[in-house]
């Protein structure tokens, strides 16, 4: 049994799901909560999952990082739009030899976190998960769940696999969460974007589920073209993604239950969209290497417009 103590920073759809699974498997987990704090302290966490429902009547819940114990592994599971809070939060919860594991979508977040805790204390996890928070302390896990885990090093230099990765992978696997180890985190991040850029973006702009995007020849075509542009972005970072990978992502989505992407849910709920992490940062990284990605840039500007108008309209009508 692992002796690692885990912190979950952001107990929502993703953090609540993985954190609850770890606690259920007997690990020592500490949850940072926001609006659900009172409810979770009184009633715990409820996970409805395609792999079996369960309840944790009692969890270690906090509404302030200052009251959390120092932890070995800090799971970052806020929306990236809240990441400005991390420079103040992380130093208060990470042990001297602890590690921050970024479970968020997008590119370049590990680099930002390395500035706070140091290059040798950051890892990234790519989460192939479909989960929603449907009520206070109530998580609905719809599908999948695998994590691809990679070490971060300065400039995303690939560093292979480490003992610390294997230890964390063992903990997650003991909780029934499949983990694969990646020797190159940046490659993994670009691969994940092959999915997130077309589907998250188009689901908002075209007001569509993944199934609808796949069923129409025009949107499907656009999805495919965007996937190839992500591959060009990856190439500008020196990472090669094969054309076969595009086919795998299309097949993966064809086999998925109709899915409202996380960005679409945020849009429908009038919450800030993760446009910078998922679109802005990849565009910047490619541009630094002298490569422009016109289709992705077009999505970026449309999403910035929709995001601003969506929140403005919501503020006026409330
Ligand atoms: N959901 C999924 O299936 C997947 C999500 N991801 C990525 O994971 C990340 C998290 O997404 P997701 O879990 O869906 O998002 P959620 O909004 O469900 O979870 C984020 C949680 O952070 C909490 N939070 C916000 N501000 C604070 C704060 N100041 N202190 C403490 N907690 C705070 C929110 O609280 P409150 O409830 O009060 O808003 C919320 O519970 C994103 O980057 C997303 O792209 C990646 C793959 C799949
Ligand atoms: C690709 C997917 C659906 C997980 O498999 C995801 O990452 C998301 O909704 O953001």
Domains of the chain are 5-183 (3.40.50.720), 187-317 (1.10.1040.10)
State residue 269's pLDDT score.
Answer: 94
Q: Place 318 in a pLDDT band, splitting at 50, 70 and 90.
A: low
The helix (H) or strand (E) run that includes residue 20 is helix 13-24
State residue 317's pLDDT score.
Answer: 62
Helices 294-317, 185-205: inter-axial angle, 10-degree rounding: 60
Q: Per residue, what are the HEC states of 216-252?
A: CHHHHHHHHHHHHHHHHHHHHCCCCCCHHHHHHHHHH
Query: Does position 316 have pLDDT exceeding 90, yes or no?
Result: no
Q: Place 2 in a pLDDT band, splitting at 50, 70 and 90.
A: confident
Q: What are the tens digits of pLDDT across the range 81-96?
A: 999 999 999 999 999 9
Q: What are the tens digits of pLDDT across the range 244-256?
A: 999 999 999 999 8
Mean pLDDT, the chain, whole residue set? 96
Q: Which atom of ligand 2 is nearest to the CA of 210?
A: 3
State residue 282's pLDDT score.
Answer: 98
State residue 315's pLDDT score.
Answer: 72
Query: Does position 186 have pLDDT exceeding 90, yes or no?
Result: yes
Return the beta strands (E) in the chain as ranges: 5-9, 28-32, 45-49, 54-56, 60-62, 71-76, 94-102, 122-135, 138-151, 179-182
Q: Please compute the mean of the pLDDT values over residues 12-24 and round it to a whole number.
A: 98
Give 115 Cα–ligand 1 centroid separation in angstroms.
22
Q: Please compute the mean of the pLDDT values over residues 221-239 and round it to a whole number.
A: 98
The helix (H) or strand (E) run that includes residue 169 is helix 163-174
Query: Does position 1 have pLDDT exceeding 60, yes or no?
Result: no
Q: Is 144 in the pocket of ligand 2 (CB under 6 A)?
A: yes
Nearest ligand for residue 274 CA: 1
Give 108 Cα–ligand 2 centroid separation in angstroms.
18
Q: Please compute the mean of the pLDDT values over residues 291-305 and round it to a whole number.
A: 98
- The pick from 7, 14, 264, 303 for probing ligand 1's pocket by mutation, whose C-beta has the most ligand atoms within 8 angstroms, reads 14
Q: What's the CA gap between 157 and 185, in Å, rounded?
A: 8
Q: Please compute the mean of the pLDDT values over residues 259-273 and round it to a whole number.
A: 95
The helix (H) or strand (E) run that includes residue 116 is helix 109-117
Q: Please compute the mean of the pLDDT values over residues 151-159 and round it to a whole number.
A: 96
Does the structure's ipTM exceed the value 0.90? yes
State residue 31's pLDDT score.
Answer: 98
**8 Å CB contact between 273 and 303:** yes
Q: Which atom of ligand 1 is nearest to the CA of 103?
A: 8
Q: Which atom of ligand 2 is nearest to the CA of 261?
A: 9
Q: Which two tokens stand for residue 316?
A: 């006026």
Q: Place 3 in a pLDDT band, splitting at 50, 70 and 90.
A: confident
State residue 11's pLDDT score.
Answer: 98
- The pick from 14, 105, 133, 268 for probing ligand 2's pocket by mutation, whose C-beta has the most ligand atoms within 8 angstroms, reads 105
Q: Please compute the mean of the pLDDT values over residues 175-183 and round it to a whole number.
A: 98
**8 Å CB contact between 254 and 244:** no
Give 281 Cα–ligand 1 centroid separation in angstroms.
19
Q: What's the CA gap between 48 and 152, in Å, rounded?
A: 33
Q: Please compute the mean of the pLDDT values over residues 63-88 and round it to a whole number.
A: 98
Radius of gyration of the chain (CA): 19
- The pick from 11, 12, 65, 256 for probing ligand 1's pocket by mutation, whose C-beta has the most ligand atoms within 8 angstroms, reads 12
316: number of Cβ within 10 Å: 7
| Catalytic machinery residues | 192
Q: What's the CA gap between 282 and 285, in Å, rounded?
A: 5
Give 15 Cα–ligand 1 centroid separation in angstroms.
7
């Amino acid at each position: 049994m692992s002796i690692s103590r885990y912190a979950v920073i952001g107990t929502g759809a993703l953090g609540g799901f993985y954190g609850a699974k770890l606690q259920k498997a007997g690990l020592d987990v500490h949850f940072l909560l926001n609006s659900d704090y009172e409810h979770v302290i009184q009633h715990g966490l409820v996970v409805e999952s395609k792999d079996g429902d369960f309840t944790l009547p009692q969890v270690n819940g906090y509404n302030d990082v200052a009251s959390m114990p120092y932890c070995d592994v800090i799971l970052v599971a806020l929306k990236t739009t809240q990441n400005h809070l991390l420079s103040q939060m992380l130093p208060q919860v990470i042990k001297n030899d602890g590690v921050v594991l970024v479970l968020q979508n997008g590119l370049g977040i590990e680099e930002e976190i390395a500035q706070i805790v140091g290059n040798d204390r950051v890892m990234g996890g790519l989460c192939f998960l479909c989960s929603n928070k449907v009520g206070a302390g109530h998580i609905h896990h719809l599908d999948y769940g695998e994590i691809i885990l990679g070490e971060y090093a300065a400039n995303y230099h690939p560093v292979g696999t480490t003992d610390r990765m294997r230890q964390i992978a063992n903990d997650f696997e003991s909780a029934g969460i499949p983990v694969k180890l990646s020797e190159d985190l940046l490659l993994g991040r670009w691969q994940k974007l092959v999915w997130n850029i077309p589907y998250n973006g188009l689901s908002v702009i075209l007001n569509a589920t993944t199934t609808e995007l796949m069923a129409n020849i025009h949107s499907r075509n656009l999805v495919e073209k965007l996937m190839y542009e992500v591959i060009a972005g990856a190439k500008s970072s020196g990472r090669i993604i094969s054309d076969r990978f595009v086919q795998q992502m299309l097949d993966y989505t064809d086999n998925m239950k109709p899915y409202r992407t996380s960005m679409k849910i945020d849009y429908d709920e009038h919450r800030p969209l993760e446009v910078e992490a998922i679109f802005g940062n990849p565009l910047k990284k490619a541009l630094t290497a002298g490569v422009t990605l016109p289709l992705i840039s077009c999505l970026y500007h449309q999403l910035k417009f929709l995001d601003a108008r969506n929140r403005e309209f919501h503020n006026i009508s409330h």
